[in-house]
Chain A
Amino acid sequence: MINQHFHKSNLSFKDKIFALDFLLIFLILLLGIISIFAMYSTEQGKLGYYTLSHFYRFSVFFIVFLAFSFFKIRFWYKSAYLFYVLILILLIFVNFYGITASGSKRWISLFFINLQPSELMKIALIIFLTRYYYKIPSEQVANLKYILAPVFALFIPVMLVAVQPDLGTAVLILIGGLAVIWLTGFRIKFFLYSFFVLICLIPVGISFLKPYQKSRILTFFDPERDPLGAGYQIIQSKIAVGSGGIFGKGYLQGSQSYLDYLPEKQTDFIFTLFSEEFGFIGSVLLLLIYVAIIYRIIQIGNQSRNNFARLYCFSFATAFFTYVVVNMSMVLGLLPIVGAPLPIMSYGGSSMLSIMIGLSIVMSCKIHRQDEGV
């Protein structure tokens, strides 16, 4: 009965192609190209492993993104729980059989690719919560019986990731989930209370942190306390960014990265390299590309006529924003170094796959924006 009220379009393939959001595609392609050039620079202008690997991944995942865009929203809606449970199983699996690298268990080996389920969980959790709240009227959101499921769905993966340990990803998953809850209209005072409780719990939390995590946080407040150890990354990152100046040192001229002073330049610190070589102007332009992507996602959400799509787009935009902001703040010394990649720019397959799937759902929302229900 209810379904009859919904307008449902049956678009042909041709219609769907025309309905694609070409601006978003252009922006992602632009970012992808920039990221390949940046990767080329991290290898001192040689066509090496990272550049090629990043190029292949981007090409494959870009096609995946386009292909998945044609799925109906209904497909995403239906498979949301399954998707979440699958990733959750993988996460649990990681904790037992994961590959340990630099002191933390994050990856599982899938013959041809090492997968990082925590990255995929970022998107899985958003879809899961979006679907869960889709059916719940906003007045009922704060009802206890509707609170338990999201809380468990949120904290189980967060805890699993935190014990890997991978604090950065855990925080990003958490923020993504909270964004959905916030958008559904959960009372503001609950957020304020929990924020207050969180502040109070910080001392307790610190006692659970691994020594290296503690030193990272202490280093954040005073990088000079161990300039060659824990503070090295942030000091060198700030030097790289700061020495870039207005116009930067020029492409392939970033001495900090070229001479290996900059650590993790392919992954977390790719923005530092970009900023060193292209300066303030380049950095702001890159930031504007991200702003444009986020803005475009929000616009798509606004155009959408069904709440699942709206909620998803807004939540994803917020999560995407968080990834960008946390990474940039981190490398600019505004946040402790926690290990958060910059979407699309950073080297890393799982992260890119996760973002691309997220974006393809956005694109799907765009194509099917006239659908009023799922």
Chain B
Amino acid sequence: MVTFPETFQSKSRLISRRMFILSTLKVAVFVSIICRLFYLQISENIKYRSLSDKNRLREWRIAPQRGIIEDYFGKKIAENTQVYQLHMIPEDVVNLEELFFKLSKIIDFDKPKRINLIKKLKKRKPWETIIISDNLSWSEFSRLNLFLHEIQGIKPVIAEARKYSEDGSSSHVIGYVSDTSVKDLENSELLREINVPGLKTGKNGLEKSLNAEMIGTPGLQRFEVNAYGKRIKELKFVEGTAGKNFRTTLDQEVQEFTTKIIKDKSGSVCVMDIYTGDIVAMVSSPTFNPNKFVHGISSKDWQELIKNKKKPLINKPVAGLYPPGSTIKPIVALSALEHDVISPKLVVECRGSIELYGQKYHCWKEKGHGFMSLRSAIKQSCDIYFYEVARRLGVDRLSVTSKKFGLGDKILNSFIEEKSGLVPNTKWKLKNIGKGWVLGETLITGIGQGYFLSTPIQLCLMMAQLANGGYKIKPRIIDDKDALQSTINAWRNEFTSKNDSFSFLNSGLEKLYRNQENIKLVLDALYGATNEPMGTSYRSRFTKPEYIYAGKTGTSQIRTITEEERKLKLKNKDLPYEKRDHALFIAFAPYKNPRYAISVVIEHGGTGSSTAAPIARKVIKKVLDRHKLRKKYQLDLFKEV
């Protein structure tokens, strides 16, 4: 009986002891939970906060409006136009197969497009818009709207897309835009930053070089979304800014006109203002329709372009390399005069060929020109005379003058495809070919053959810098009014200081000559070449005083003519296309108060006088006719010239 309370006591103690053990355990567990909370909420807070934001925030970027490109008169060359697009939001699509099936009945949606789309789908987040078609026809678009209620997850959208002139007259200068590729993204941080679905990027021409400025900044919409992807509220809206617009120095009407006249030929025409360096025209032929690239070119069209022998995709004015041929002769003559190697009175007899260093060198005129002075040699383009001049001058001095006048170096920085050409000299040969210079090479270099290579725009610049009296100019294709103003001021100073011999004003213009009389002499000889009987371009002259121009023809061989062939008297017509000579012509107009320089290069076109000069004649007339209008858009410079 008395034991019971003891049992009660001992049992009670046992329970308490057991409870104590448990309590210790409990404290440990609670502490570990607090540690876990500390770890999640304090140590790892940043990680989880960003994960939470990733959950709740979604951003949609709005494609920016691309800047437009205008010609000198404000005519749009590359503009934006409304297009009808079809977008898809993957997470809203119930059944992809079914959607594709339905779409294929409504719009042009073939298998390759489907496969392409599925590929894209895998890379994107489910809420990111995917563009199924970026250029629907109106009938497709309206049909789509009709069936819209039956299909989930798609959205017809009216968007903006690039549009170029259909005739492709400025395709090479402007270039084109197309879908941003993986490679584009790798190369450009800007494109990675913008990251808008369906963003187009400039692939070549000005579209590429001005891409960063023209692309604009995208708009941004940030939404809070719930777990089902529904937008709950808009947290942020940033309006995008349109890209910068650009005005070029081109005259689109001249571009179109020129494109038309050389449509069937492979070649280029460049026209430049000899004072400002403005490129009035820069046409490459044959051309292509850049609009085809904007929405993805079909493989048939693409094959057609790359298989074309006349290489329509090459921007020939800057990327075509041609031996300058006889068009180099004014520079050879000038170089010789400037270096006091010859006097203008030097007379050389041309008998059609000459033997030098054990090799026979021919003149283009088999019978020979007879006794030639410098002026008549330029006028009639006598090769024998220039062999002699070159022999006396040497290739190194010639290369110095050639480079000074714009050959052998890139002159525009707007085109990645631009080539620098080649002005050979002894050093160059030793370094690049590893052989010493052979004197015979000097002779053929003197008529613009051999290693000599130039681009049409270089020839145009060379002509311009001769025609303006021997001053260095900076060619430009983007119109910048401030730069123009300073150029005009420089010229104004130059002319006033010339009239007033007491002025020592430094105009800021770089003189390329030692004695300007030498340049005048060469220009006078070019007048003869075009406007006097026997001149090489006499047949393409103008008689109306305001159109009179002066120019130099060139026919550049692309192969060595063997003695046997010479005997056969093969005409260009008889040769296969690839072996025919290039036809070149450079000129400046008008002869009195010159203002424009032009270069025409027709690949495998035959002779300069028969093919290139007539084209130049037409273009010159067009440019001079347009001059009055162009003048209105310029600060008044012409008066003083």
Residues in B with CB closer than 8 Å to A279 are 41
Check if B227 sits within 8 Å of A310, measured CB to CB: no
B29-56 interface bits toward A, Cβ cutoff 8 Å, 1 = contact, 0 = none: 1101110111011101101110111011
Whose C-beta in chain B lies nearest to the C-beta of A185? B14
Residues in A with CB closer than 8 Å to B8 are 307
Check if A259 sits within 8 Å of B232, measured CB to CB: yes
Bound: A179/B225 CA distance, A: 46
A145-189 interface bits toward B, Cβ cutoff 8 Å, 1 = contact, 0 = none: 000000000000000000000000000000000010011110000
Check if A280 sits within 8 Å of B22, measured CB to CB: no
Bound: A332/B48 CA distance, A: 13
A37 contacts chain B at the CB level, 8 A cutoff: no
Residues in A with CB closer than 8 Å to B19 are 183, 298, 301, 314
Stretch of A197-205, A217-225, A240-248, A353-361 with 4 or more beta carbons under 8 angstroms from chain B: A240-248
Check if A241 sits within 8 Å of B11, measured CB to CB: no
Check if A259 sits within 8 Å of B23, measured CB to CB: no
Contact residue among B22, B45, B224 (Cβ-Cβ distance under 8 Å from A245): B45
With known contacts A245-B42, A260-B228, A255–B55 Cβ distance under 8 A: yes
Bound: A2/B29 CA distance, A: 42
Contact residue among A137, A138, A179, A325 (Cβ-Cβ distance under 8 Å from B29): A325
Residues in A with CB closer than 8 Å to B22 are 179, 182-183, 314, 318
With known contacts A242-B44, A307-B8, A332-B33, A255–B224 Cβ distance under 8 A: yes
Expressed in whole angstroms, the minimum distance between the Cβ of A269 and any Cβ of chain B is 13
A68 contacts chain B at the CB level, 8 A cutoff: no
Expressed in whole angstroms, the minimum distance between the Cβ of A46 and any Cβ of chain B is 14
Check if A256 sits within 8 Å of B52, measured CB to CB: yes
A230-254 interface bits toward B, Cβ cutoff 8 Å, 1 = contact, 0 = none: 0000001011111111100000000
Residues in B with CB closer than 8 Å to A241 are 37, 40-41, 48
Residues in B with CB closer than 8 Å to A314 are 15, 18-19, 22
The majority secondary structure among interface residues of chain A is helix
Expressed in whole angstroms, the minimum distance between the Cβ of A271 and any Cβ of chain B is 10
Check if A183 sits within 8 Å of B18, measured CB to CB: yes
Stretch of A17-25, A73-81, A119-127, A283-291 with 4 or more beta carbons under 8 angstroms from chain B: A283-291
Residues in A with CB closer than 8 Å to B26 are 294, 318, 321, 325
B145 contacts chain A at the CB level, 8 A cutoff: no
Whose C-beta in chain A lies nearest to the C-beta of B9? A307
Bound: A329/B37 CA distance, A: 10
B515 contacts chain A at the CB level, 8 A cutoff: no
Query: Which residues B203-230 have CB closer than 8 A to chain A?
Result: 224-228
A363 contacts chain B at the CB level, 8 A cutoff: no
Check if B37 sits within 8 Å of A284, measured CB to CB: yes
Residues in A with CB closer than 8 Å to B52 are 239-240, 242-243, 255-256
Check if B15 sits within 8 Å of A184, measured CB to CB: yes
The majority secondary structure among interface residues of chain B is helix
Whose C-beta in chain A lies nearest to the C-beta of B19? A314
Check if B5 sits within 8 Å of A5, measured CB to CB: yes
Instruction: Report the contact-size class of chain B (Cβ under 8 Å from the partner).
Output: 35 or more
Residues in B with CB closer than 8 Å to A137 are 7, 11
Check if A5 sits within 8 Å of B4, measured CB to CB: yes
B226-250 interface bits toward A, Cβ cutoff 8 Å, 1 = contact, 0 = none: 1110001000000000000000000
B12 contacts chain A at the CB level, 8 A cutoff: yes
B95 contacts chain A at the CB level, 8 A cutoff: no
A311 contacts chain B at the CB level, 8 A cutoff: yes
Residues in A with CB closer than 8 Å to B18 are 182-185, 314
Query: Which residues B128-156 have CB closer than 8 A to chain A?
Result: none
A132 contacts chain B at the CB level, 8 A cutoff: no
Residues in B with CB closer than 8 Å to A53 are none
Check if A307 sits within 8 Å of B34, measured CB to CB: no
A275 contacts chain B at the CB level, 8 A cutoff: yes
Whose C-beta in chain B lies nearest to the C-beta of A240? B52
Check if A283 sits within 8 Å of B41, measured CB to CB: yes
Bound: A307/B228 CA distance, A: 55
A261 contacts chain B at the CB level, 8 A cutoff: yes
Residues in B with CB closer than 8 Å to A256 are 52, 55-56
B10 contacts chain A at the CB level, 8 A cutoff: yes
Check if B51 sits within 8 Å of A242, measured CB to CB: yes
Check if A259 sits within 8 Å of B15, measured CB to CB: no
A350 contacts chain B at the CB level, 8 A cutoff: no
Residues in B with CB closer than 8 Å to A370 are none
With known contacts A238-B48, A298-B23, A314-B19, A328–B11 Cβ distance under 8 A: no
Residues in B with CB closer than 8 Å to A206 are none
B634 contacts chain A at the CB level, 8 A cutoff: no
Whose C-beta in chain A lies nearest to the C-beta of B36? A332
Bound: A253/B4 CA distance, A: 61
Bound: A241/B32 CA distance, A: 16
Residues in B with CB closer than 8 Å to A318 are 22, 26
Check if B40 sits within 8 Å of A332, measured CB to CB: yes
Expressed in whole angstroms, the minimum distance between the Cβ of A184 and any Cβ of chain B is 7
Query: Which residues A329-347 have CB closer than 8 A to chain B?
Result: 329, 332-334
A215 contacts chain B at the CB level, 8 A cutoff: no
Q: List 17 A-B contacts (CB under 8 A).
A: A242-B41, A243-B49, A244-B41, A245-B42, A245-B45, A255-B55, A258-B226, A259-B55, A260-B227, A261-B56, A261-B227, A275-B41, A280-B37, A283-B37, A287-B34, A325-B33, A332-B40
Given contacts A5-B4, A280-B41, 7 further A-B contacts (CB under 8 A): A185-B18, A238-B48, A240-B52, A298-B23, A307-B8, A310-B12, A328-B33
Which 10 pairs from chain A and chain B are nearest by CB? Answer: A242-B48, A243-B52, A259-B226, A260-B227, A280-B41, A242-B40, A243-B49, A243-B48, A185-B14, A255-B56
